[in-house]
Amino acid sequence: MRSEGPGLGGAGALAAGVLAILGLPLLGLSDYAMRVATLTALYAVAATGWTLIGGFANQVSLGQATMFGIGGYVSTLLFARWGVTPWLGGAAGAALAALVAIALGGVAFRLRGHYFALITLALAEMVRIVVEYDQPLTGGAQGLSVPLVRNSLVLLQFARARDYYEIAALLLLAALALSRAIAGWPLGYELRAVYDDEIAAALAGVNVRRAKMRAFVAGAILTALAGTVYAQFTGFIDPDSVLSIPLSIQLALYAIVGGARTWWGPLAGAALLVPLGELMTSSEAGAGAGITKVLYGLILVAMVIVEPDGLAALLNRRRRGARAQA
């Protein structure tokens, strides 16, 4: 399948989408619903970060959670130990994530395909082990709590979920705008060329390594920022919730289900699956905590068999079919 440029509607549709995302709190939803919406937005941002490299360039990373965790841990540590506002902490987390991405990419981009997936998984596990081991600094496996201050824009803490949502929604719009812009930039074309055939891309004059690195670093920054807001929002992080392989898989899952080759796919996947997951977790009331994840796994299996390019491709196929009939 040839992937075209940005796509998905004209300026009108885009404006409507932006208004819908920002205006969601006006619907007067419950605090719980707004919590779910906030989580959805944050995971969508993190999944967008994965898509830039995993979807656009087909460099399947299994370690995106590392960046999410770095965002969460850096801002929380700076806040808890030295009272640094998470606004600055988030920036520091994003900067560190960018540096880590450069270092990890330096090692991992020598490899392709399965080897790349394997090494990203290993590197992510190494980060998790170190964080768990260095208990005096990071709180180890027990995790870290964010000091509670309640309702301070300066310290990025609010009493109501809808205030967090507005922050998350702004971050989401920024992430989507960046992803859409990249898809249209020369970098987007380079990444698609890498997707199609890395060797051919290199022969055609694409600096493959540079293109991958740029996408990886941009994605790392987005995911780290989502991690910072997530930590503030939930008030608690531990290696399982922000640094684990299952989280890496979950982020890729959102992108793949929505459409990993489009800028809006990660949002579509997260908007579908995060509320579904929350709904199931709350309704089964802890009886069998595994069921939701079983479903996630099965959805992932079904999706790659039916349409590895996700709902986006299914929609495109139908649209093209309708046009052909007209």
Q: Residue 199's CB: how many other CB atoms inside 10 A? A: 10
- Nearer to other proteins by C-beta: 99 or 301? 301
- Nearer to other proteins by C-beta: 181 or 291? 291
What is the spatial distance between Cα 74 and Cα 92, in angstroms, rounded to a whole number? 7
Q: From the CB of 259, what's the least distance to other proteins, in Å?
A: 12
Using DSSP's 3-state secondary structure scheme, residue 158 falls into coil
- CA-based nearest residue to 21, from 221, 264, 219: 264
Q: Residue 163's CB: how many other CB atoms inside 10 A? A: 18
- Nearer to other proteins by C-beta: 32 or 133? 133
**Residue reference for tokens 């199931």:** 280
What is the spatial distance between Cα 209 and Cα 105, in angstroms, rounded to a whole number? 9
Residue type, 102: I
Continuous segment of H or E residues that includes residue 207: none
Q: From the CB of 122, what's the least distance to other proteins, in Å?
A: 5
- Nearer to other proteins by C-beta: 169 or 255? 255
User: Cβ(79)–Cβ(89) under 8 Å?
Assistant: yes
Cβ-proximal residues to 105 (8 Å cutoff; 6+ apart), any chain: 212, 213, 216, 217
Q: From the CB of 319, what's the least distance to other proteins, in Å?
A: 22
Q: Which positions lie near other proteins, rule CB under 8 A?
A: 54, 58, 60, 62, 107, 110-111, 113-115, 117-119, 121-123, 125-126, 129-130, 132-133, 245-246, 249, 252-253, 256, 260, 288-294, 296-301, 303-305, 308
- DSSP letter for each residue of 240-270: HHHS-HHHHHHHHHHHHHH-TTSSSHHHHHH
Residue type, 212: K
Q: From the CB of 203, what's the least distance to other proteins, in Å?
A: 20
Q: At what angle do helices 65-82 and 113-133 cross, to 10 degrees?
A: 20
Continuous segment of H or E residues that includes residue 138: helix 135-138
Q: From the CB of 302, what's the least distance to other proteins, in Å?
A: 8
- Nearer to other proteins by C-beta: 173 or 299? 299
- Nearer to other proteins by C-beta: 31 or 196? 196
Q: From the CB of 112, what's the least distance to other proteins, in Å?
A: 9
- Nearer to other proteins by C-beta: 3 or 38? 3
Q: From the CB of 326, what's the least distance to other proteins, in Å?
A: 30
